[in-house]
Amino acid sequence: MKNFSFVNVENKADALEVLHREKEKSCLVAGATNVMPFIRYEKINDKTLINIRNLQELRFIREEEDKIEIGPLTTIYDLENSEIIEKYAPALREAAQDFADPTTRNSATIGGNIANASPAADTATPLLALNAVVVAESKSGVRKIPIQEFFLGVNKTALQCDELITVIEVPKNAANSNSCFIKLGLRNAMAISVVSVAAGVELAEGKVAHANVALGSVAPTPVRAKTVEAALVGKEFTPGLVEETAKLVTEDISPIDDVRASGEYRKTVAAVLVKRALKKSGKI
């Protein structure tokens, strides 16, 4: 039988306190859009549900000198409607626009999206391409986890059981400001991605200075397309180059067959989406 208890927390300090006390039994609940299905399907049980939905102090989007800071309780709706995000992390905004539907976007949070660590998490792909940093806090202190080290597997992250995500940092740079996101789903709304791609390129005198490419739904975690990136940097940014290098993405991914599509198909469209995202980001 289902066995849960519930604690409401009013501020961050409270939250850390309860996490410290409950340890493995902790289950933070923000928008609850992942937690509720998990409860229903009995994927989790014997947990203390710690309600952080009301922690307004963790719902913010701030612009700093060299980065932007996003609070974990920021909803997908907030991301979609933020001028800061639009300016410095357009990939994240586009991901928010393709996320579920407007009603779900009112509840779902960015913190919940990455902490849940689904390979298909729509904000994870852009955050990975944007070289974001996840700031995690517990009673014993604060640590910064580069997003590349954050996702460990399906529903597995580098977070300790008593840690709370308190900030997600996104560096301000040209590649990030040029970034974009493309999702392929089986429907035009309310669709889990078959493949998603985020890309940001920075050009200097026609040549690729930086190229960041990430993909979702093609491996147990969102992944960076390292081979593609390496093949781009330093080269003249032409449609020909993009078309050639996009194909290399199959080296970087290990998609599986599931109800939505086969691994083979995912490989094919991953290359197509990488090509399109690069062109869009580099404006060719």
Ligand X SMILES: Cc1cc2nc3c(=O)[nH]c(=O)nc-3n(C[C@H](O)[C@H](O)[C@H](O)COP(=O)(O)OP(=O)(O)OC[C@H]3O[C@@H](n4cnc5c(N)ncnc54)[C@H](O)[C@@H]3O)c2cc1C
Contact footprint for other proteins (CB under 8 A): 1-6, 8, 29, 32-33, 35-37, 39-40, 49, 51, 53, 77, 100-104, 106-107, 184, 186-192, 194, 259, 261-262, 265, 268-269, 272-273
Are 224 and 214 in contact by the 8 Å Cβ rule? The answer is yes
CB of 246 to ligand X, least distance (A): 24
Chosen from other proteins, ligand X, none, partner binding at 112 (C-beta under 5 to 8 Å by type):
ligand X
Of 193 and 245, nearer to ligand X (C-beta) is: 193
CA distance 100 to 121: 11
41 exposure class (CB count in 10 Å sphere: 0-12, 13-18, 19+): exposed
Q: Alpha carbon of 98 to those of 160, 164, 179: distances in Å? A: 30, 26, 15
CB atoms within 10 A of CB 172: 16
In one letter, which amino acid is 76?
I
CB of 123 to ligand X, least distance (A): 6
Residue 121 makes contact with ligand X by CB under 6 A: yes
Residue choice 28, 170, 195, 231 for contact with ligand X (CB under 6 A) = 28
Residue number, nearest CB to ligand X:
112
In one letter, which amino acid is 139?
K
Of 108 and 145, nearer to ligand X (C-beta) is: 108
CB of 87 to ligand X, least distance (A): 22
Coil/strand/helix, residue 119: coil
Name the pairing type of β-strands 47-51 and 207-216: unpaired
Are 50 and 29 in contact by the 8 Å Cβ rule? The answer is yes
CB of 108 to ligand X, least distance (A): 3
Stretch near ligand X under the rule CB under 6 A, chosen from 108-116, 169-177, 231-239, 261-269 = 108-116
Coil/strand/helix, residue 64: coil
Residue 116 makes contact with ligand X by CB under 6 A: yes
Chosen from ligand X, other proteins, none, partner binding at 4 (C-beta under 5 to 8 Å by type):
other proteins
- What is the torsional sign of CA 87, 145, 182, 259? negative
Binding site for ligand X (CB under 6 A): 27-35, 37, 72, 99-100, 104, 107-109, 111-113, 115-116, 121-122, 159, 164-165
